[in-house]
Amino acid sequence: MIQRLHRSDLGNSLRTLMENDPAFRPVAYFSMEVGLKESIPTYSGGLGVLAGDILKSAADLGVPMAGVTLLYRKGYFVQEFNESDWQLEKPVVWDPSKELTLLPNRVTVTLEGREIQVGVWVYECVGATGYPLPIYFLDTDFEPNHPDDRTLCWYLYGGDNRYRLRQEFILGVGGLRILRDLGYMNIDTFHLNEGHAGFLTLELMREQGYYDPDKIREQVVFTTHTPVPAGHDYFQFNMIDEVFPPDAKSTIHRMLPNREGVSMTELGLLYSRYVNGVAKKHAEVSNDMFKMETVDWITNGIHPTTWISSGMRKLYNKHIPGWELDPGRLVQALTIPKEEIWAAHQASKLRLFARILETNGVQLDPDVLTIGFARRAATYKRADLLLTDVKRLKDIAGGKKVQFVFAGKSHPHDNGGKTLLQKIRRAAKELENDIPIVFIDNYNMEIASLLTQGVDVWLNTPVRPREASGTSGMKCAMNGIMNFSVLDGWWIEGWIEDVTGWSIGPEPTEKNANTDYDENLDANDLYNKLEKKVIPTYYKNHDKWVDMMKHTIALDASFFNTHRVVREYAAKAYSIDFRGM
């Protein structure tokens, strides 16, 4: 068992702690992307933002952890549109040395017969009580690496499958070698946030010097995030055989015999002592998909002080002291006076509208019900469900009764997603005089926080059960904003009709019972509830509206936060002793 750090240790670096205390055993958290803030553009969406939020909460709580990810010198991308509303991707220009510190450590990995030097940058994430948690960003853009190898840590989801395979080898194998070089000899647990870093099991086996899979399992835990098989990385053995060095090649064949390739998810499932999904429903779907019974769940959360507006933060500090380190106390939100909640909310709404005026030249009305929708423009997220029946939408929301704000990036290779974006932007122009619809370009963490603090309702319409968890709705809950969402992912756990928001479409009954159903049901239900519940409550029953806001904070924000998530991981997945925390 490892102890929480004493306050007197705060301010020391992990390195000093490791040298002074051989019993100190941190958790190494591996993630293909980490989203800490928009000025470190090494994330594309929910997976990375979740990783960042978990690491921040671990720092706040003083949990000994270190993050490992890749640097991505070219970031994800900056989103622009041409005259036909088609998404264009522009490279991100950022200077890692402004945000991170390059360490002198170098290790080598061999890929395609060439030695590659892997270096590392560090970001020190300082928690609320001063506890420093290091996050390591691996990089290969150094002399004397071969020009092809120097670009291996440039693009997030940019290259082909072979590029991806090499990136994942660098993350798993290079990442573990770097940790050892930095002095991390006593790692308690390797946490794989999604399967991408699964090749670290090869390096653990090599370090061990003999083949014993059980000993590897004892050290690894795995969080799966994708409820559909197509979402899992898969590499054919004929490619692996060309790329990997001989020892890694023979080990991976031995670990996954009688197969044609490596599914990173399967690798994670087979070589971990604990596996979890990211919401209750997602664990059920995963158990079905993998034909297992042991996938547990730890429902995702968001980092409280990253996502809360300054106004709400002041309000909670005044009425619920201590909530920042213990967000469970937000159950007391029901005692906050209604006028104060409303005033703080309207201030965030004005801030969002000021930004929209600046970037889009559109003046939205702060007294009009404003519905937000922003996420990756993947087709399963169905950003266009709202536009299923435009005439009906006009009847219900026309005359500027409702205004909508959209944002979202499509994956560069996803033409379906780009078509979705085009459809929304074109609808915005057609409906201009009837239903204001604004599209904010270049969705990132900064725009996400403006939106999840400043709209009145958060719309979410994924095809179930494709939304493993979803987290943007939790950011809204932290700011007292109700969700209006298909019952999937976290919302099944956070939803109380007319209390924390509204559902769209059928209720989940037994396992997977709602994977095949009439898609029109969702659109119909969306329109019905918008007309009969959401609009009338907003305009005619202000007291009930604000009461729902308070219940959203008390019931949802108190639970769907990464402080609770980290405590759950510590209790179920790591072997950390939480006394005194």
Ligand X SMILES: *Cc1c(COP(=O)(O)O)cnc(C)c1O
- Which parts of this chain interact with ligand X (CB under 6 A)? 45-46, 49, 375-376, 443-445, 448, 470-472, 475
Least distance from C-beta 389 to ligand X, angstroms? 25
Least distance from C-beta 468 to ligand X, angstroms? 9
- Residue 402, classed as helix, strand or coil, is strand
Counting every residue written for the chain, the total comes to 581
Least distance from C-beta 301 to ligand X, angstroms? 11
Look up residue 576 and give its DSSP letter.
B
Interatomic CA distance for residues 229 and 251, integer angstroms? 25
The count of C-alpha atoms lying within 13 angstroms of the C-alpha of 281, restricted to the half-sphere facing its C-beta, is 24
Q: Which residue number, 65 or 451, has a Cβ lying nearer to ligand X?
A: 451
Least distance from C-beta 375 to ligand X, angstroms? 4
Beta-bridge mates of residue 111: 114
Least distance from C-beta 279 to ligand X, angstroms? 11
Q: Which residue number, 56 or 150, has a Cβ lying nearer to ligand X?
A: 56
Q: Which residue number, 138 or 377, has a Cβ lying nearer to ligand X?
A: 377
Q: Which residue number, 173 or 407, has a Cβ lying nearer to ligand X?
A: 407
Q: Which residue number, 107 or 459, has a Cβ lying nearer to ligand X?
A: 459
Interatomic CA distance for residues 427 and 406, integer angstroms? 12
Interatomic CA distance for residues 267 and 196, integer angstroms? 10
Least distance from C-beta 458 to ligand X, angstroms? 9
Q: Which of 319, 316, 296, 294 minimizes the C-alpha distance to 304?
A: 316
Least distance from C-beta 493 to ligand X, angstroms? 15
Q: Which residue number, 21 or 414, has a Cβ lying nearer to ligand X?
A: 414
- Give CA separation, 119 vs 137, 163, 181, 183, in Å: 8, 18, 11, 15
Look up residue 145 and give its two tokens: 């690496």
Least distance from C-beta 428 to ligand X, angstroms? 20
Q: Which residue number, 134 or 470, has a Cβ lying nearer to ligand X?
A: 470
Q: Which residue number, 177 or 376, has a Cβ lying nearer to ligand X?
A: 376
Least distance from C-beta 558 to ligand X, angstroms? 19
Determine how β-strand 234-236 pairs with β-strand 261-263.
Answer: antiparallel
Least distance from C-beta 423 to ligand X, angstroms? 19
Interatomic CA distance for residues 379 and 529, integer angstroms? 23
Q: Which residue number, 43 or 574, has a Cβ lying nearer to ligand X?
A: 43
Contact between 489 and 402 (Cβ < 8 Å): no
For tokens 């060095």, the residue is 245
Q: Which amino acid is at 282?
A: H
Contact between 204 and 267 (Cβ < 8 Å): no
CB atoms within 10 A of CB 507: 11
Contact between 94 and 39 (Cβ < 8 Å): yes
Q: Which residue number, 56 or 375, has a Cβ lying nearer to ligand X?
A: 375
Sign of CA dihedral 546, 551, 553, 556: negative
Contact between 243 and 169 (Cβ < 8 Å): yes
Interatomic CA distance for residues 45 and 467, integer angstroms? 13
